[in-house]
Structures are given as C-alpha cells and as structure tokens.
Amino acid sequence: MTISTPRLKSLPAWQKLKQHYKEISNVHMRELFTSQPDRFDDFSIAWQELLLDYSKNRITEETIQLLVELANECGLPEAIERMFTGEKINNTEGREVLHTALRSNINKPYNIVSGDDVMPEIRAELEKMKDFSDAVHSGRTTGYTGKPFTSVVNIGIGGSDLGPHMVVNALQYYQKDIDIYFVSNVDDADIAKTLKKLDPETTLFIISSKTFTTWETLTNAHTARKWFLQSGADSSALSKHFIAVSSNVPEATAFGVAEENIFEFWDWVGGRYSLWSAIGLSIALAVGYDKFSELLAGAHAMDKHFRTTPLEKNIPVILGLLGIWYDNFFGADSQAIIPYDQYLEYLPSYLQQADMESNGKRVTRNGEEVDYNTGLIVWGTTGTNGQHAYFQLLHQGTRLIPADFLAAVESLNDIGEHHRLLIANFLAQTEALIRGKTVDEARASLEESGLDNEAIEKILPHKVFPGNQPTNTIFYQKLTPFNLGALIAMYEHKIFAQGIIWDLNSFDQWGVELGKSLAKIIYDELDDNEPVTTHGQSTRGLINYFKQKSSMI
C-alpha cells in the first residue's frame, strides 16, 4: 500500500483558489451582477443550438482564470488528447477509452496509438444495426409465425439499460410504430409486469450485457426465454426472438443466441459510455437508424468542441470546473440536474451512473488515498414537478446545492400555453435562487399586504430567502436527436474533465464488486430454512428473520 499523498492540493493554482475562495465566499451574486454589467455575455457560451449561461455562479473572472490554471496544471489538455488518441487511460483495466470513436465520422479512419484503425469494425457493426433495424421496421424480419414485431424488450442493467432507456424515452416524439420496453431489475415485478403486456409472437428480446455475466440480466433473460417457450413456441423459434449485444460472444452463444444475432462491442467501450455502440440498438429500433446516427453526429460535434476549444470557452470544461469549485472549495455535497423537459425525465438517473460510477472514487490513478472530496452526489427530477417537491430546500434550506437547469427553446408539441408557462417557471426559479429576498424586501411585501407590525415581525423570518444559490442554465433549441447527443456528450466530457483534476480513473468501477460477491454467498444460504451462524450480527439476524418469515408463508 502506497503512502505518498496526491499532489492536487499542493498545486499553485489550488493554493491560489483557496485564498480566492476566502475573498469571494461571502460575496452575494447580486453584487457580482451589479459590478459586472456584461456578466451574462462574459459568462455564457453559445455553441451550435446550445447556450450555456453560467453567470449565476459564485465566480468572478479571476475564479475562472484560476480554475483554468488548475486544469492546465493537472494536464487536462494533454489528457483529452490521450483519450482521443486511444492511450490506455483506463489504467486499472489496461484498456483504451474510445466511445468517441463510435460517433466519429464513419467515413474517416480513427487511428489510435497502437497504430490500429478502429473504424472498419465500428462501421461493420453500425451497418449491421442499420440492416437489422430497417428489416424489423419494414417487416422483412418477423417473428416465428411471420407476424411483424410490435414490441422490443431490452434486458440489461446499469450502462446496458440507463443510456438507451433515457434516450428512447427522450426521443419518443420521433418513435416509430413499435413499443420499446426496458427490463433491468432482478425484482420479479419488473419482468412480470412487462411480460403481461406482450405477445410472444410479436416480441423481440435484446439481451444487452457487455460481460454477459451480469446476474440480474441473465436471470431476466432466462425468465423471458422460459415464458416464450411456455407460450407454445418451439426452441427453433428462439433465434428469431432473442438477440444479444455483448463483448462476450462465447457466453452469449452459450445462452442460445445465434452467432449472427450477436451485436458486438469492444472492451474499449465502458458500460456507462456504451449507448453509442450496439447497446443503442433499442434506440435505432425505436426511432430508426437515421435518427440514431443524428444522435451520434450531435455527440461527435460536442467531441470536436471539447477537443479543440480553449479551456475557458469549452462547455464541458467550464461545467466540470464549476463542479470542482463548489465541491472542493465551498464543500457542496450534491448537485441537482433539473430538466424542464418531460422527455428528459430519465436524464438525472442516467447521469447518476455516468457521474457517480465514474468519479465516486477514493484513490488516485496511482492508488494514493485522496485528501480532497471527489464526485458530487447527482440527483434531480423534471421541472416544474420539482418545484412542488424539493425546491423548498433549495430556496430556504441550509445547504449549497449547485444545479443545472435545462430546457428547450421550442416545444415539440406546442399545445396551448404550456411551453410559455414552463419557460416562465424555468427562468423564474433560477432568478429566485440567485436573488433571494432580503429582510427589507420581505418586510415591504408584508407591509403591502396590509399586515400589522406585530404579525409582520412574527412571520418575517419565514419569508426571507438568502438567494446566492448557483445555477447553470442550458438552453437547446429543440429536443432533436442531434442536440440530445450533444448534451449527453457534454456531460460525459464534464465528468472526464473532473476525473482528470481529481486524478481518478473515471473508467473503472471496482466499488460495485464487493456487494455482488456477498450477494452470491447469501443467495446460496437462502436455499434452505436452516438458520445461518455466519456473517456479522445484524446481517445474520436479518437472514434468519427472512428465512423464518418466508418459510411460514
């Protein structure tokens, strides 16, 4: 075990930021806006159909300059190149990190440091996805009785579920006449409630698992197969209804998927970065291959922006640096993601995995224990729903919670007054969060309402809002596949930039292993009704309680 300490806190820019924090931490953003008349122009970035306004943050020009200095001292520009050129930056697994290749220009080579061009295999897999989704949509590929497929079920979990699930839901405005379901949880309720809605003759199952060893996914896949066969289908029909996406071809074949029905992806695509690969097959089936490729094009455009734009005008970098500012200097614990867009309902849960599985780490790339906080807790739901749930805490609670607010300029549905109302709320909330309401302002409103002095003094503390809560506002023109691809890539690169500054390997996930191996032991112990004598007191007590109570049923 190494005993050296990580270098981040000794970097000159970190030291300067510490000092700068002391100077700025008590300044209210109201003052910052007053003293900087062009603050909106200075602190916003327009790119393609996106606008990032980061002016409602507790920063000055100096803050950004120092944060950029920190990024340079941490070698962020070089690290970006290392990722794009296919160095094995996933050092604990000895792998390249090449999800950006999946969405690069398919007509050009994508050579990586080893000298290989990865495009031929990517191109072949994309071609296979296109052929397959076109064949399903045209009815060229059907179920075993000749009926066209009307339902697709993606069985997968984590990165093999959250990404495609979020995107299919987000792009449902463009959805073809086919239903897409996602089954992820090993809780039998998930598969049971889904199968109830399905007709075996017209259902296609995609078993999505990079490793093809994930317990939940295989259990659900076996249950689906049993259900299919019990419906009267012959086992020869299985190959028409069960396909797989996996980098583990032997295991997928062993499950019974015909080799030609296995869509491959590679160990240089991390699970939570895999929606751009054949893991996105459910997306292509939902909206058609052309829309899937627009999604890739949007992400590719963001990749170019990230790779080529100076750090101080680089959207993912700015977002990442602001996160570092609040996490490591202000001591924030969490960040909220609040899309004012019902189609982006699952964006917060998608970003939970993307961010927390990537940067929820406690040792540096070299294994030194960090002496600073790393990944923030990511949470959130759509606006305006959140306003009627947890916004009270944002406005008057005691915590600093930086939040990203996202909305489309144009609605896809444009029904009545809905969008105008939505946007009015969207803009009002970030304004309220920054401005707050001072004691004087609160008193003035109460006086206006005609209350007597005694009543005013009693209620006054409850009517004060401190404000000064930081937010980023992200406008996109419309929720198109292109803009969605760009937004997702924006967050991926933000997470990458933060991982570099914290000196983490953002591409492994060893922390998920312990619970998995303990579950295997307990699973075997739940095989009979005999009390166990192993484990710690609490777990032993719970296992035996469960055994006793379930055997009574």
Q: Which residues are catalytic?
A: 357, 388, 516
Residue 439 structure tokens: 């004691």
Alpha-carbon distance values, 181 to 195, 262, 440, 485 (Å): 10, 19, 54, 21
Provide φ and ψ at 7, rounded to 5°.
-90, -10
Q: Where are the alpha helices (DSSP H) in 150-288?
A: 162-170, 188-195, 215-230, 238-241, 249-255, 281-287
In whole angstroms, how close is the CB of 273 to ligand F6P at the nearest point? 9
Q: How far is the CB of 252 from ligand F6P (least distance, A)?
A: 11
Minimum CB separation from ligand F6P for residue 428, in Å?
Answer: 37
Smaller CB separation from ligand F6P, 20 or 210 = 210
Q: Out of 86, 159, 339, 485, point to the residue binding ligand F6P (CB under 6 A).
A: 159
Best CA proximity match to 501, nearest among 341, 331, 350, 318: 318
Interface size with ligand F6P, residues (CB under 6 A): 14
Gap between the Cα atoms of 323 and 332, Å rounded: 9
The minimum distance between CB 200 and ligand F6P, in angstroms, equals 24
382-390 contact pairs (CB < 8 A, 24+): 382/338, 382/339, 382/340, 382/341, 382/342, 382/344, 382/345, 383/338, 383/339, 383/340, 383/407, 383/422, 383/425, 383/426, 383/429, 384/340, 384/422, 384/425, 386/336, 386/338, 387/425, 387/429
Angle at 352 between CA 477 and CA 214, to 5 degrees: 120
- Output 506 or 509, the one with its CB closest to ligand F6P: 509
Closer residue to ligand F6P, CB minimum distance, 272 or 419: 272
CB under 6 A: which stretch of 128-136, 154-162, 180-188, 260-268 binds ligand F6P?
154-162
209, 277, 480, 505: residue in contact with ligand F6P (rule CB under 6 A): 209
Only segment of 38-46, 72-80, 206-214, 339-347 that touches ligand F6P (CB under 6 A): 206-214
- Per CB under 6 A, the segment of 158-166, 300-308, 380-388, 478-486 that binds ligand F6P is 158-166
Work out whether 157 is an interface residue with ligand F6P (CB under 6 A): yes
Does position 241 interact with ligand F6P (CB under 6 A)? The reply is no
Compute CA distances 203 → 105, 140, 145, 146, 180, whole Å.
33, 15, 11, 12, 10
Q: Which is nearer to ligand F6P, 279 or 315 (CB)?
A: 279
Span interacting with ligand F6P, options 10-18, 204-212, 223-231, 388-396, rule CB under 6 A: 204-212
Task: Please report how close the Cβ of residue 357 comes to ligand F6P at its closest, in angstroms.
Answer: 6
The sign of the CA dihedral 138, 143, 147, 151 is negative
Q: Residues 280-319 vs ligand F6P: string with x where CB under 6 A?
A: ----------------------------------------
Give yes or no for residue 277 binding ligand F6P (CB under 6 A).
no
3 state DSSP class of 185 = coil
Residues of this chain, 51-110, that bind ligand F6P according to CB under 6 A:
none
Within 54-200, strands assigned E span 151-155, 179-183
For ligand F6P, the binding residue among 6, 86, 200, 271 (CB under 6 A) is 271
Q: What does the block give as tokens for 353?
A: 């995995």
Single out the segment in contact with ligand F6P by CB under 6 A; choices: 64-72, 203-211, 387-395, 407-415.
203-211
Closest contact distance (angstroms) between CB of 213 and ligand F6P is 7
Amino acid at 209: S
Among residues 133, 154, 202, 217, the one that binds ligand F6P under rule CB under 6 A:
217
CB atoms within 10 A of CB 205: 26
Q: How far is the CB of 455 from ligand F6P (least distance, A)?
A: 56
Exposed/middle/buried for residue 372 (C-beta within 10 Å: 0-12, 13-18, 19+): middle
* Cα–Cα separations (whole angstroms), residue 323 to 256, 328, 401, 473, 551: 46, 8, 10, 14, 50
Binding to ligand F6P in span 321-380, by CB under 6 A: 357
Which residue carries 């949509």 as its tokens? Answer: 137
Nearer to ligand F6P, 272 or 443 (CB): 272
Task: Tell me whether strands 471-476 and 403-408 are parallel, antiparallel or unpaired.
Answer: parallel
Q: Which stretch binds ligand F6P (CB under 6 A): 155-163, 186-194, 444-452, 520-528?
A: 155-163
Which residue in 210, 300, 365, 419 binds ligand F6P (CB under 6 A)?
Answer: 210
Q: Which is nearer to ligand F6P, 351 or 442 (CB)?
A: 351
C-alpha distances in angstroms, 165 versus 24, 98, 406, 434?
41, 22, 19, 34
158 binds ligand F6P (CB under 6 A): yes
211 binds ligand F6P (CB under 6 A): yes
Shortest distance (Å) from residue 385 CB to ligand F6P: 27
Kind of pairing, strands 44-47 and 50-53? antiparallel
| Strand 377-379 versus strand 334-340 pairing type | parallel
Contact 198, 151 (CB under 8 A): yes
Nearer to ligand F6P, 269 or 318 (CB): 269
Instruction: Work out how close the CB of 217 gets to ligand F6P at its nearest, in angstroms, rounded to a whole number.
Output: 5
Question: What's the closest the beta carbon of residue 484 comes to ligand F6P, in angstroms?
Answer: 20
Between 455 and 512, name the residue whose CB sits nearer to ligand F6P.
512
Measured distance CA(347)–CA(355) in Å, rounded: 12
User: Helix or strand or coil: residue 463?
Assistant: helix
Binding site for ligand F6P (CB under 6 A): 157-160, 209-211, 214, 217, 271-272, 357, 509, 512
